């Protein structure tokens, strides 16, 4: 898994991240979603590494990265805090500017990095996600039925107790789908109480402070300054929830492109070659705004 890549623990000012990095060329940071670790990218990262330096961390709160202290506003698990980690990590590795790709919960951190640090982000790719403020603002009965976990995970204590009763049944997954090493890494994460708590804190931040940050940007009419690519899984439910996914993103991203991919939610595991092709084509683009 990740042949030729380096694995290390990187101490940053506000977090310690487990990071896998390799390749050569312009840098791209890949951010996983819930409940995965950086290992979800093991089929995609080598396909990018021929022309890019590829960096894959466990987000703070996830995997083997450090867990933030609990606070009433969940600020340590906010996407703003995690975006700050991304900037600090890439500076540590010698990169002042870089592309960022986020899947699922990682897409919210990638979006926040582009909004908060426009001078650092050259390209933004968001996979299977829309801004948190858009998701919550458009919430209806269909959303509540399909994405009920957002609201359950946002409750105190009970989600952790339910998940840890039988994490394998709760989350599913298999070595056949994910690859044996990636599955072992993921399984270690979902069986760790501190990591499960860290993942729930990500959702608690999403229902409060993260939405506040998005809404503040909307009021200030701030938008993404770099080219933006939105990709979504056609066998998941983003189209069912939102119809035209690009229409949701367009007010936030003046330089926007994207499409649906014929795969399920975990596209990096299910359609790695197609995803890598989309990303390589996008990363070769210059801004059009």
Structure token pair of residue 11 = 């101490």
User: What's the pLDDT score for residue 101?
Assistant: 98
For residue range 140-186, list pLDDT tens digits in order.
999 999 999 999 999 999 999 999 999 999 999 999 999 999 999 99
Query: Does the pLDDT at position 202 exceed 70?
Result: yes
Evaluate the omega torsion of the peptide bond into residue 108 and state whether it is cis, within 30 degrees of 0: no
Q: Are 205 and 34 in contact (CB under 8 A)?
A: no
Query: Does the pLDDT at position 7 exceed 50?
Result: yes
Alpha-carbon gap, residue 238 to 247, rounded angstroms: 12
Query: Does the pLDDT at position 287 exceed 60?
Result: no
User: What's the pLDDT score for residue 289?
Assistant: 39
User: What's the pLDDT score for residue 137?
Assistant: 95
Which residue numbers are catalytic? 104, 265
| First-residue to last-residue Cα distance in the chain | 38
Q: How confident is the model at residue 224 (pLDDT cuts 50, 70, 90)?
A: very high
All domains of the chain, ordered by start, with CATH? 6-283 (3.40.50.1820)
> CA dist 152 to 23, 69, 155, 204, Å?
40, 21, 6, 10
């Amino acid at each position: 898994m990740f042949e030729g890549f380096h694995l290390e623990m990187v101490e940053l000012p506000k977090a310690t991240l487990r990071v896998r990095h390799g390749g050569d060329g312009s840098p791209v940071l890949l951010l996983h979603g819930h409940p995965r670790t950086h290992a979800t990218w093991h089929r995609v990262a080598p396909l990018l590494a021929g022309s890019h330096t590829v960096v894959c961390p466990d987000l703070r709160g996830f995997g083997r990265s450090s867990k933030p202290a609990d606070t009433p506003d969940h600020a340590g698990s906010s996407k703003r805090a995690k975006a700050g980690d991304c900037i600090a990590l890439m500076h540590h590795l010698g990169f002042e500017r870089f592309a960022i790709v986020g899947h699922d919960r990682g897409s919210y951190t990638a979006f926040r990095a582009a909004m908060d640090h426009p001078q650092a982000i050259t390209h933004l790719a968001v996979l299977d996600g829309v801004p948190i403020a858009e998701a919550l603002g458009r919430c209806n009965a269909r959303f509540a039925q399909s994405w009920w976990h957002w609201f359950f995970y946002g409750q105190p204590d009970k989600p952790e107790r339910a998940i840890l009763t039988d994490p394998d049944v709760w989350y599913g997954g298999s070595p056949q789908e994910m690859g044996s090493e990636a599955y072992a890494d993921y399984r270690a994460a979902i069986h760790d109480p501190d990591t499960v708590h860290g993942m729930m804190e990500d959702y608690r931040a999403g229902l409060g402070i993260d939405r506040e940050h998005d809404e503040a940007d909307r009021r200030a009419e701030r938008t993404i300054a770099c080219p933006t690519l939105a990709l979504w899984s056609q066998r998941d439910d983003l189209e069912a929830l939102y119809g035209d996914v690009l229409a949701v993103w367009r007010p936030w991203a003046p330089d926007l492109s994207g499409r649906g991919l014929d795969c399920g939610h975990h596209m990096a595991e299910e359609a790695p070659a197609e995803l890598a092709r989309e990303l390589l084509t996008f990363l070769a683009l210059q801004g059009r705004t």
